[in-house]
């Protein structure tokens, strides 16, 4: 009697598996595709952090000074540099300071 129960249980389980496969698809996990890497390698924040590591931000630097320094290695728009500096400051990678240039106070960044 137990063998008959085992047979019927196995048959029911096989039927359920076939139904699940028909309804939900195969049980095998989908392949996870790797994200494509950037062609140039380093993004703008990486370049700014590299400047910080070399000591560029030991004294307060404005976004225009950082932009001028980056132009040789990473040409981009000045507003992108300003936004990247702000994001690095929010992530606490850089500190915000003020710097007087031309009689005006400007936002500057320090390591």
Distance, in Å, from the CA atom of 85 to the CA atom of 103, rounded to the nearest integer, reads: 23
Assigned domain for 19 exists: no
Query: For residue 53, what pLDDT is reported?
Result: 93
Domain count, the chain: 1
pLDDT band at 35 (very low <50, low <70, confident <90, very high): low
Assigned domain for 104 exists: yes
Assigned domain for 34 exists: no
Q: Which helix (H) or strand (E) holds 47?
A: helix 44-53
Across the chain, mean pLDDT equals: 86
Assigned domain for 105 exists: yes
Assigned domain for 7 exists: no
Higher pLDDT, 22 or 80: 80
* 29 pLDDT higher than 70: no
Q: For the segment 39-79, what is each residue's pLDDT rounded down to a tens digit?
A: 457 899 999 999 999 999 999 999 999 999 999 999 999 99
Distance, in Å, from the CA atom of 46 to the CA atom of 86, rounded to the nearest integer, reads: 14
Q: Is the pTM of this model over 0.75?
A: no
CATH of the domain at 48: 1.10.10.10
Higher pLDDT, 72 or 35: 72
Strand partners, 104: 101
Assigned domain for 76 exists: yes
Assigned domain for 90 exists: yes
Mean pLDDT within 23-48: 71
- The range of the structural domain enclosing residue 103 comes to 44-110
Assigned domain for 96 exists: yes
């Amino acid at each position: 009697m137990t063998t008959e129960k085992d047979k019927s249980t196995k048959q029911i389980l096989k039927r359920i598996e076939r139904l699940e496969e028909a309804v939900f698809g195969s049980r095998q996990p989908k392949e996870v595709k790797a994200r494509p890497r950037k062609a140039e390698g380093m993004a703008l924040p990486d370049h700014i952090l590299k400047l910080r590591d070399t000591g560029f931000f030991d004294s307060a630097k404005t976004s225009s000074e950082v932009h001028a320094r980056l132009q040789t290695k990473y040409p981009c728009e000045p507003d992108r540099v300003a936004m990247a500096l702000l994001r690095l400051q929010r992530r606490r990678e850089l500190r915000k300071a003020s710097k007087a240039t031309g009689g005006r106070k400007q936002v500057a960044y320090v390591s």
